[in-house]
Structure 1
Amino acid sequence: MKRRTLLRGAAVGAATVPLLATTASASENYQVAMTEQRTNRILVFNKDDAWNESTIKWKWGSTSRGWSNLSDVRFRDTKHFGRVVLAAASGGYAGIITSAGKVLWTGEPGGNPHAIERIPNIAAIVTASSGGYLNVYGPTKITDPSTLAKVQTVNLPGAHGVLWDPSLNVLWAIGDYVVRAYQVTGSYRETRLKDTGKSVALPGGGHDLQPDYTNPGKLVVTDTKAAYEVDTAALTAKVLRAETRIKAFVRHRSGEYLWVRAENVEPRPWSSPTVHFDSGDKTLADAQFYKARIVEAAFE
């Protein structure tokens, strides 16, 4: 049976079009979200469509300096607001956005925020800032994101990514030369991260951290040298793609990989107009993509 979870609504200036969850096969269409930094928007396309302004399925953007250089996007389902969009920006902001484009909460982690995650059941938010730390935000009321406040800062040099793992009940984070597992303790304003002592060494500065949607026991990560498959039980890393400058790397549940590789061209040498798929590349003229994500609310 085809799995179709709909997220309806529109962001600023977008048509009201549903965002589909991942489909069962790479031969079928599924939706992909990118952070596009030239126009500073989150853009969603059907993978199999021609990519241009008329085929955008959902978009959101802001002219605020704090939202400049959008660096992360992901989707999470909530009981109170339905599907929400989590976003982080190198300009300094991180936040929660509804499918209609309403910003429910904005935090200011500082230090070049690169990633954001939501801890289920307690609605805590964790961000990763490349300045060298993880930031934990706890609410006083799960249904009211405006009550989120910073409750903890955890040192992690080069922090670039965070991901909740419901199978192991840990938060994975990636930084310089390491992927590390943290236990989440407490709730609400007492939410805290505690190092479990479990980690996987990387040869380079860590960058992207995503689930492997084909296997809940695996992660896909990148550092400055390559992309890897991380086994969360064995705590080992295996090279998947020996290539530098991979800024985003994701595996669809069909087994297809998609990735963004920086083209080292000004004005944003860390970006590219192209998202690479095993089934073929997709390019948006003049785009400066940084991250690419499958439109999928599942953690794994």
Structure 2
Amino acid sequence: MNRRSILRGLALGAAATPAAVLLSGPAQAATYSVVATEQVANRLYVWPTGKSLSWDNRSWSWSPGTGGWSNLSDVRLRNTSAHGWVVLTAASGGRVGIINHTSEKDAELNDLLWYATPGGNPHAIERIENNGSIVAASSNGYLTLYSPTAISKPSTLAKVASYSLPGAHGVLWDPGSKLLWAIGDKVIRWYAVTGTYRGTRLALKGSKAISGLGHDLQPDYKDKTRLLFTASYGTYAINTATKAVTTLSSETRVKALARHSSGEYVSIRADNTGSRTWGSPTLRFSTLADRSRTGAEFYKVRIWTPSYE
């Protein structure tokens, strides 16, 4: 049975097989864009769904070069009162940053508003809503908190604290629960954000054991009551109120999972081949046709929206 047959079976309520891929409910037709980290060219790309992943079809891109910016590992779009849209990015080479999103189609390193070097293989980055602080998750085992002296000035961000989280791979601010969520090795944790400006701190409020190493942590744009995450042995959803975890599939090596408000899922599954065995040249969609880019190694994919949930 192919992956789309499995999806149709899930939508109709059939039992999932151990290899089942993504999840429940048929998507409605929708037009939207996705943003992906591509590690061979080392670019962020935005493409509209329904079009091939060609250079000509990109609607935005960012190229930082290499060095500390090698192997781009995370990207997300956020809205600010002072700068409008900004793009957050993390790179396994060691750096994280905030990019000023302007009308320029192809941004470069000089479009950075701020960057830092938390080190330890940064895998994710998030901005805390109405606070301006930035949290980076590094897989070597910690979260790094940067806070500003003025929310409207990213240049004032400075490191104020770090928090142990073995295998830290994902971080996400959820305005519904008013908690910062983070995923690592065999655990999801949630933190309250206390204080303001350089006095901002994270206070651990709870945690839940998961199976294997967590990889990705994202909102479900169709269901504000849950977050999506991937780990070594499957894909899952967690209810932000009850903290109950639901298994969506037992598919391994899923490095990224997102769900559009239409119900459409998009994901990346490592193919264990090529120059980066943890990546894939293919963006997978639950109802649309999958799309590939020859020679690419995608690691993360997101819905192109500044919304937190």
Global fold match (TM > 0.5)? yes
CA contact (8 A) 1:200 1:237 kept: no
Deviation at 1:235, TM superposition (A): 1.2
CA contact (8 A) 2:69 2:95 kept: yes
Deviation at 1:46, TM superposition (A): 0.5
Give CA-to-partner distance per residue, 1:253-300, whole Å, 9 cap, x none.
111111000000131000100011012211111111000011011111
Which position in structure 2 is the counterpart of 1:296?
305
The match for 2:149 among 118, 140, 153 is 140
CA contact (8 A) 1:113 1:127 kept: yes
Alignment of 1:230-249 (within 5 A): 230-249=238-257
Which position in structure 2 is the counterpart of 1:70?
72
Q: 1:240/1:211 Cα in 2 relative to 1: closer, same or farther (>3 Å)?
A: same
CA contact (8 A) 1:200 1:236 kept: no
Deviation at 1:53, TM superposition (A): 1.2
Structure 1, unpaired ranges of 5+:
1-24
The match for 1:154 among 131, 142, 163 is 163
Deviation at 1:84, TM superposition (A): 0.4
The CA RMSD measured in Å over matched residues stands at 1.0
CA contact (8 A) 1:138 1:148 kept: yes
Which position in structure 2 is the counterpart of 1:207?
215
Aligned-partner Cα distance in 1 for 2:292–2:160: 41
Report the residue type matching 2:251 in the other structure.
E
Aligned-partner Cα distance in 1 for 2:258–2:204: 26
The match for 1:266 among 254, 274, 281 is 274
Give CA-to-partner distance per residue, 1:28-68, whole Å, 9 cap, x none.
22100000000000001011112211111100011141110
CA contact (8 A) 1:178 1:206 kept: yes
Which position in structure 2 is the counterpart of 1:51?
53
Deviation at 1:26, TM superposition (A): 4.6
Report the residue type matching 2:155 in the other structure.
S
CA contact (8 A) 1:160 1:207 kept: yes
The match for 1:27 among 26, 29, 44 is 29
Which position in structure 1 is the counterpart of 2:122?
113
Aligned-partner Cα distance in 2 for 1:32–1:122: 26
Aligned-partner Cα distance in 2 for 1:268–1:194: 36
TM-score by length of 1: 0.90
Aligned-partner Cα distance in 2 for 1:281–1:144: 40
- What is the SS of the residue equivalent to 1:143? coil
* Corresponding residue pairs, total: 275
Aligned-partner Cα distance in 2 for 1:44–1:126: 23
Which position in structure 1 is the counterpart of 2:3?
none
Deviation at 1:239, TM superposition (A): 1.3
Which position in structure 2 is the counterpart of 1:38?
40
Paired-residue identity, %: 51
Report the residue type matching 2:294 in the other structure.
A
Aligned-partner Cα distance in 1 for 2:131–2:29: 37
Aligned-partner Cα distance in 1 for 2:116–2:233: 31
Aligned-partner Cα distance in 1 for 2:294–2:137: 30
Report the residue type matching 1:179 in the other structure.
I
Aligned-partner Cα distance in 1 for 2:143–2:200: 13
